[in-house]
């Protein structure tokens, strides 16, 4: 009936500042088979790390099970994790890199 008709007007959300893209972590996962020095080689090649940085990340994953390698936009994080995991796969190692959103 005309008396009970309710008209809902959708609000347009005004974006003032441009939202910065949500960042995603690349995570190195420990395993029992991949040689330590190979993990370090992959970290240096795929994530532009120094020998010292790569050693620290590798040993942290080795001791704790996982270590955050770096943060990127979703697309870049997923591409880097895939490339690094495939580098291990090509040598027959179960080396694994995963991604997860930050916060
Ligand atoms: N745990 C492996 C070894 O003892 C080395 C290793 C470290 C593998 C970190 C994976 O993410 C990793 N050979």
Q: Which pLDDT tens digit goes with each residue over 6-53?
A: 888 889 988 889 888 899 999 999 999 999 999 999 999 999 999 999
Q: Provide mean pLDDT across the span 54-72.
A: 98
Handedness of CA 67, 30, 86, 56 (dihedral sign): positive
Q: Does the predicted interface ipTM exceed a cut of 0.95?
A: yes
Res 1 pLDDT > 60: no
Q: Among 66, 71, 41, 63, which Cα is nearest to 53's?
A: 41
Q: Is the CB of 58 under 6 A from ligand 1?
A: yes
- Tell how far the Cα of 73 is from the centroid of ligand 1, in angstroms: 26
Structural domains of the chain in order of their starting residue, each with its CATH number: 35-101 (3.30.1390.10)
């Amino acid at each position: 009936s005309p008396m009970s008709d309710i008209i809902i007007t959708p609000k347009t959300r005004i974006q003032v500042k441009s939202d910065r893209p949500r960042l995603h972590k690349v995570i190195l996962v420990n395993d029992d088979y991949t040689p330590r020095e190979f993990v370090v080689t992959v970290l240096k090649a795929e994530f532009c790390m120094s020998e010292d940085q790569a050693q620290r990340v590798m040993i942290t994953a080795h001791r704790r099970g996982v270590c955050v390698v770096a943060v990127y936009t979703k697309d870049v994080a997923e591409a880097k994790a895939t490339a690094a995991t495939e580098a291990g796969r090509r040598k027959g190692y179960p080396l694994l890199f995963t991604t997860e959103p930050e916060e």
